[in-house]
Homo-oligomer: A and B are copies of this chain.
Amino acid sequence: MGHRENPRPGGRSARVQAAVHQSVREMLAKMDRADVTIPLIAQRANVTPSTIYRRWGDLQELLADVAASRLQPEGEPARIGSAREDLEAWVEQYADEMASGVGRQMLRDVLATIDGTNAERCSGYTQQQLCVLIARAKENGESFPSLGELMDHLISPIIYRILFDQAFDAGYVRELVARVMRKSNA
C-alpha cells in the first residue's frame, strides 16, 4: 500500500494516507473502539468518507493496515551482551508489547481481514528482528536456534496465549527461551 512498483500517472496522495492513519491512531487512543467509524475518521482527517471506502474498502481493512504499520519495529534489537541475552531482552519486550491491550487489539485487527497481507507483513517484521539476532550469534560463534525453531517454539506459544486469552508472565517467556536454547545446543 505504501509503495507502488510501477507508478502510473495519477498516483495516490501521501497526504490522505498520512492524515487517515494519524486520525485512526488518535481516535483509538482517545475513544472506545466501538465508536470509531469511517465518517468520524474522515472528518478528523479532513477527507471525504468515500475516499476511505474506495481506498481501504471497510473499517476492518483500514484498522488492519494501521495496526500492521504500528507493529513495525522501530529499530534493531538492543545489544546487551551475548546473543542469548539479546534474545531474552528482545523477546521480553516483544511479549509485553503484544500482550498489552493495545498490542492485543492490533494483533486482532491484523488477523481479522480476509486478505492475509497484513498478517504476513506483521510476521515478517518479527522474523527480520530474529534474523538480526541469529546473525549476531553467528558472528560471535555462539550456538543459536534457527529461525524456524524460534518461530515455532518461542513466538508461536506467546502469540497463541495472547490471542486465546491465556495469561502468562516473564518467567514463562524465560522458560521458553531456555527450552529453545537447550534444544539448539543438543
Contact = CB atoms under 8 A, between A and B. Distances in A.
Nearest to A33: B114
Given A114-B33, A123-B164, A159 B156 contact: yes
A122 B176 CA distance: 24
Interface string A91-116: 00000000000000100100110101
B163 A111 contact: yes
A73 interface: no
A161 B122 CA distance: 12
Interface in A139-186: 151-153, 155-157, 159-161, 163-166, 176, 179, 183
A45 interface: no
A125 B29 CA distance: 34
Given A123-B166, A152-B153, A156-B159, 11 more contacts: A105-B114, A108-B111, A111-B163, A120-B164, A120-B166, A151-B157, A152-B156, A152-B160, A155-B160, A157-B157, A160-B160
